[in-house]
């Protein structure tokens, strides 16, 4: 596959964005407070939509059906809380970081250190998920084991963050948003058109295929046949769905790297606007994901179920190499039995591969597949960069400057950043987590 060229281009674009976006040390934390709400909304969207949103979410929905709705509602509903209850007031208070707000508002350095601690825990766990995402992309396209993929990804993020610089990260993220949304939408529109003849994926997955049967009804039927729960009703209890959704909403509203973005605008009213634009840009991806989930699920079942293993297309063996797709011929009939019953089931599919494998399963051209990989990387890198910024400001601004040694200079802060990145690298080395956990 001719992927090398697009990789190179992709990195050059990103590098240039970073160089252009460099700014003075003064603007390091909140970009001088003069970002336009639409640009800020786009940057927030890229910052927040991570490898989990881009790669994993549609896959999880695709396996969970209605159960997957908890992520769709939970991760977007939090923005309503953010826009109505948090963002305008945090902006009004006029500080750089969340620990700043908590420490100054409650006149307590203990509260501040608790906030710093929480910020660091959230950011580190979150960034680990991004690494897994980058790892999945690399393991597939370099055809290596997933662990090797994660290691390669880590090296690139480290290299990239140190070289590109963290200043003026906003405009880098605007560019990354454009890359990732384009990469996500093109294959979705393509597949929607192929399957249903409707170019809008949001409408497409409620339409009927070539056989005249509504896609969702057909999928419900396929699921029943193979012993899975019905796609549109799911298997989780009402109580579980309710609580998970609530937890995700409240959690989303409290993400430190998202909140910090609302400090970058000029006025309180701009903070509200930013939240609105951010959710609008996020909604484009989030309403498309369930459509992709349905297309990929149907395509997967129709391609593999009860088909001979020897006649599987190329993508099957390539994903097998990564260890994320597995087949064991239990009854030795050479056919792939895909079933909810684990004693009969012969196929294991990791949910993380669904978005990336989807265009291959649907036999779309190679450039679409390459585009997806670029988008996934943009999603992971922009989030990783946003989180690294939060981590470095939590340590250098909140912890060192405000609490431990107030006389520290900005140059020493930059040194801190490099040390932190190295620390992060070592820390991640011993860690293997999946985006689903987040």
Helices (H), 197-313: 201-204, 215-225, 238-253, 256-259, 268-304
- Distances in Å between the Cα of 208 and the Cα atoms of 5, 294, 315 are 38, 12, 27
- Judged by beta carbon, residue 13 or residue 280, the one nearer other proteins is 280
Instruction: Report DSSP letters for 241-253, one per residue.
Output: HHHHHHHHHHHHH
Within residues 221-240, the interface with other proteins by CB under 8 A covers: 232-233, 238
Nearest distance in Å: CB 33, other proteins? 19
**Which of 43, 154, 166, 275: binder of other proteins (CB under 8 A)?**
275
Q: From residue 387, how far is each of 134, 145, 154, 200 by CA, in Å?
A: 15, 26, 14, 33
Rule CB under 8 A: say whether 207 interacts with other proteins. Answer: yes
CA distances from 126 to 114, 133, 383, 438 (A): 18, 11, 9, 7
Piece of 12-20, 127-135, 210-218, 221-229 that binds other proteins (CB under 8 A) = 210-218
Cβ-count burial 295-323 (b if 16+ within 10 Å, e if not) = bbbbbbbebbbeeebeebeebbebbeebe
For other proteins, the binding residue among 217, 320, 333, 432 (CB under 8 A) is 217
CB-based contact 176:186 (threshold 8 Å): no
Choices 11-19, 115-123, 197-205, 309-317 (CB under 8 A): range interacting with other proteins? 197-205
Any idea what DSSP says for residue 331?
Answer: T
- The residue range among 111-119, 144-152, 282-290, 387-395 that interacts with other proteins, by the rule CB under 8 A, is 282-290
Nearer to other proteins, 252 or 413 (CB): 252
Q: How far is CA 145 from the centre of its chain?
A: 21
Give least dist CB 2 to other proteins, A. 36
Q: Could you count the other beta carbons within 10 Å of the beta carbon of residue 89?
A: 12
Query: Among all chains, which residue has been given the structure tokens 């509200």?
Result: 272
Among 144, 169, 216, 181, CA closest to 382: 169
Site string for other proteins, 372-391 (x = CB under 8 A): --------------------
SS3 280: helix
In the complex, least distance from residue 295 CB atom to other proteins, rounded to whole angstroms: 13
Residues 26-45 that bind other proteins (CB under 8 A): none
Q: Which stretch binds other proteins (CB under 8 A): 25-33, 107-115, 170-178, 274-282?
A: 274-282
Binds other proteins (CB under 8 A): choice among 48, 171, 263, 286: 286
Cβ 245 to other proteins, closest distance in Å? 7
Three-state SS for 336?
coil
CB of 189 to other proteins, least distance (A): 16
- Distance separating alpha carbons of residues 14 and 63, to the nearest angstrom: 33
Identity of the residue, 56 or 76, whose beta carbon is nearer to other proteins in the bound complex: 76
Which residue lies nearer to other proteins by CB, 114 or 283? 283
Pair 261, 42: CB distance under 8 Å:
no
CB of 149 to other proteins, least distance (A): 30
Does 193 sit near other proteins (CB under 8 A)?
no
Segment (H or E) for 319: helix 314-322
Of 148, 208, 307, 321, the residue at the interface with other proteins (CB under 8 A) is 208
Task: Please provide residue 143's backbone torsions phi and psi, each rounded to the nearest 5 degrees.
Answer: 50, 55
Q: Which of residues 58-117 bind other proteins (CB under 8 A)?
A: 61, 66, 68-69, 72-73, 76-77, 79-80, 83-85, 88
* CA within 13 Å, CB half, 431: 19
Indicate whether 215 belongs to the interface with other proteins (CB under 8 A). Answer: yes
Asked if residue 276 binds other proteins (CB under 8 A), the reply is yes
CB 188 within 8 A of CB 54: no
- Count of residues engaged in binding other proteins, rule: CB under 8 A: 43
Q: Is 280 in the site for other proteins (CB under 8 A)?
A: yes
Residue in 34, 155, 206, 221 binding other proteins, rule: CB under 8 A: 206
The neighbouring-strand residues paired with 208 are 214
Binding-site ranges for other proteins (CB under 8 A): 61, 66, 68-69, 72-73, 76-77, 79-80, 83-85, 88, 202-203, 205-208, 214-217, 232-233, 238, 241-242, 245-246, 249, 269, 272-273, 275-276, 279-280, 283, 286-287, 290
């Amino acid at each position: 596959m001719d992927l090398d060229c697009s990789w190179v281009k992709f990195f050059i674009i990103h590098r240039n964005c970073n160089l252009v976006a460099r700014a003075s040390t003064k603007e390091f934390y909140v970009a001088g407070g003069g970002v336009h709400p639409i640009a800020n909304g786009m940057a927030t969207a890229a910052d927040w939509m991570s490898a989990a949103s881009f790669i994993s979410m549609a896959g999880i929905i695709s396996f969970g059906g209605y159960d997957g709705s908890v992520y769709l509602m939970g991760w977007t509903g939090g923005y309503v809380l953010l826009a109505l209850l948090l963002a305008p007031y945090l902006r009004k208070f006029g500080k750089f970081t969340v620990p700043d707000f908590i420490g100054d508002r409650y006149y307590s350095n203990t509260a501040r250190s608790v906030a710093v601690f929480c910020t660091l825990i959230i950011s580190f766990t979150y960034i680990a998920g991004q690494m897994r995402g980058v790892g999945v992309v690399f393991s597939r396209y370099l055809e290596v084991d997933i662990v090797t993929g994660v290691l390669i990804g880590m090296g690139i993020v480290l290299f990239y963050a140190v070289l590109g610089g963290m200043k003026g990260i906003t405009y880098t993220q605007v560019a990354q948003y454009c890359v990732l949304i384009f990469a996500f939408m093109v294959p979705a529109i393509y597949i929607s058109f192929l399957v249903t003849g409707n170019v809008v994926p949001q409408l497409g997955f409620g339409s009927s295929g070539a056989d005249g049967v509504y896609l969702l009804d057909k999928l419900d039927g396929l699921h029943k046949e193979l012993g899975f729960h019905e796609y549109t009703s799911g298997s989780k209890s009402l109580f579980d769905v309710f609580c998970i959704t609530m937890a995700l909403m409240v959690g989303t509203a409290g993400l430190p790297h998202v909140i910090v973005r609302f400090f970058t605008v000029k006025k309180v009213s701009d903070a509200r606007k930013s939240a609105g634009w951010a959710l609008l840009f996020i909604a484009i991806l989030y309403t498309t994901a369930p459509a992709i989930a349905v297309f990929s699920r149907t395509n997967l079942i129709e391609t593999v179920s009860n088909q001979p293993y020897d006649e599987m297309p190329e993508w099957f063996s390539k994903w097998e190499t990564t260890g994320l797709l597995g087949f064991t011929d239990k009854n030795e009939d050479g056919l792939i039995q895909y079933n909810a019953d684990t004693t009969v089931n012969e196929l294991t599919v990791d949910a993380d591969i669904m978005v990336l494998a989807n265009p291959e399963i649907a036999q779309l051209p190679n450039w679409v597949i390459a585009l997806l990989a670029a988008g996934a990387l943009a999603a992971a890198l922009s989030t990783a960069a946003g989180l690294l910024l939060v981590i470095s400001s939590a340590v250098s601004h909140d912890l060192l400057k405000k609490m431990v040694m107030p006389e520290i200079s900005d140059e020493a802060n930059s040194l801190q950043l490099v040390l932190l990145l190295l620390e992060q690298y070592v820390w991640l080395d011993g860690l293997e987590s999946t985006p689903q956990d987040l």
